[in-house]
Amino acid sequence: MLDSAYIVGAAETPYTRHPTPGVSTSGLLVQAAREAVAAAGLRWFDVDGLGVSSFTLGPDHAVDLAWRAGLGPLSWLMEDTNGGASALNMLQHAELAIRSGQASTIVLVSGDRMDAAAFRMLVEHYNRATEEHLAPLPLTGPNALFALLTQRQMTALGLSRRDYGHIATAQRAWAGLNPGAVYRAPLSLEEYLDAPLVAPPLGRYDCVPPVSGADAIVLTAGPAGSAGSAGTGAGAAGRPVRVLAVETSIGIDDQDADGLTTGLVQAAPRAWERSGLGASDMDVLSVYDDYPAMALAQLIDLGAIAAEDAQRDLAERIGTRRLPVNTAGGQLSAGQAGAAAGMHGVVETYRQLAGIAGERQVDDARFGVVTGYGMVLYRYGACANVAVLEGVR
């Protein structure tokens, strides 16, 4: 068993609010995967493992995608259906596959062509509980569910809408440094507060824009291949990034609690123990921001923010961007490309630790943490996972 697996390349297709005519989900997935392999300095034929997550790939599955993309023979294949937790769920499996020698070069890719019809299909038929007990209310989409959850968090932590505004405005400022983000214009706290309410207390800027796009990463057994063959220019690979820990917790409660505590309260301590690090060691953080309340809940569960200091830290650490959280703009400003939403944070954290994050590069970023969260069973997400990564010097 090898000690570590390494992320040696990543790519994100352009995100678009409306799908480019002629673009398909499988086309987006293959585009991201091929660009990630190229960025790693590897050849497409080096790939012997593939992991895929997509809401709209059907009727195809991972094996169809592999065949149509000209891949094979593969010694490792997986398809993950866990939405916002799918990227790290795949990484948890892929890391072990690399370390155990089941595969030598694994591409993990997530994405969706998300037009209005696909989005409506997704939110109305998300699962059986949604079909039978939420869609008929009629409730389409999770805004109301997370409005109720945000109310609970406001009461529990003594927060106001203004406090959450620091998350949205800071991420918009980061997005201004990310050419790939769909919303880049600066957002003031006043604009955030004055925006139309969508489901009180949630306003327009508390909700993510659905986009079409895909994200991919490449894992290998050693850092040498990529670093040695790194090219030049925008696609060049930077430093290899070592996977220090990936941990998951699913179904921490029975959907009967307040939803303010995620599975990270179980997964994060295991990840910190395995990596020998803690939240305060992290130079960059990426948390799954389907709503600001969930970004905050995960930062608390990671130990990056103390619940009793939430109001102060939102203003003084998040709002000021002293704590680098979701440095590509997150889903709130970069966009939510369906199942790629979890991979977006992995790609960004890789780029920061590889030293290739462009204008938004965090100085001397060595350690980073990424979370995944999702799969609303009935009232809130049931899946949470976390990865701790290190840029190899």
Partner 1 sequence: MSGPAFFQRCTACSTVFFPPRLACRACGGAAFEQVEAGPGVVEEVTELPDGLRIASVRARGVPVVCSTSSESSAVEVGSSVALVDSPPEQGGQPAHPVHAVHLPGSARVEPAAFFTTTHIENEGTP
Query: CB of residue 147 vs partner 1: minimum separation in angstroms?
Result: 4
Torsion angle of the four alpha carbons 87, 331, 350, 40, in this order, in degrees rounded to the nearest 10: 80
Using CB under 8 A, which of 42, 97, 123, 382 touches partner 1?
123
Interface with partner 1 (CB under 8 A), residue from 151, 261, 266, 311: 151
Q: By C-beta, is 119 or 367 nearer to partner 1?
A: 119
391 has which bridge partners? Answer: 241
Interface residue with partner 1 among 9, 201, 338, 345 (CB under 8 A) is 201
Among 196, 280, 363, 393, binds partner 1 (CB under 8 A): 196
Instruction: Kindly write out the interface string for residues 279-318 of this chain, putting x where it contacts partner 1 by CB under 8 A and - elsewhere.
Output: -----------x----------------------------
> Of the two residues 129 and 265, which places its CB atom closer to partner 1 in the complex?
129
Q: Interaction with partner 1 in 61-120: which residues (CB under 8 A)?
A: 119
Q: Which of 32, 69, 147, 221 binds partner 1 (CB under 8 A)?
A: 147
Give yes or no for residue 210 binding partner 1 (CB under 8 A). Answer: yes
Minimal distance, residue 93 CB to partner 1, in Å: 26
Stretch that binds partner 1, among 25-33, 59-67, 154-162, 357-365 (CB under 8 A): 154-162
233 binds partner 1 (CB under 8 A): no
Q: Is residue 49 at the binding interface for partner 1, with CB under 8 A as the rule? A: no
Shortest CB 366 distance to partner 1, Å: 34
Q: Residues 132, 359, 363, 364: which binds partner 1 (CB under 8 A)?
A: 132
For residue 328, give every residue at least 6 positions away whose Cβ sits within 8 Å of its Cβ, in sequence order, or none: 174, 175, 178, 180, 181, 334, 344, 345, 347, 348, 351, 360
By CB under 8 A, how many residues form the interface with partner 1? 46
Q: At its nearest, how many Å lie between partner 1 and the CB of residue 346?
A: 21
The binder of partner 1 chosen from 19, 83, 84, 142 (CB under 8 A):
142
Q: Check binding of 146 to partner 1 (CB under 8 A).
A: yes
Strands 105-112, 367-376: pairing is unpaired
338 binds partner 1 (CB under 8 A): no
- The residue from 20, 81, 160, 188 that contacts partner 1 (CB under 8 A) is 160
Shortest Cβ 289–partner 1 spacing (Å): 12
d(CA 37, CA 45) in angstroms, rounded, equals: 10
Contacts with partner 1 by CB under 8 A lie at: 119, 123, 129, 131-139, 141-148, 151-152, 154-155, 160-161, 195-204, 207-210, 254-256, 290, 378-379
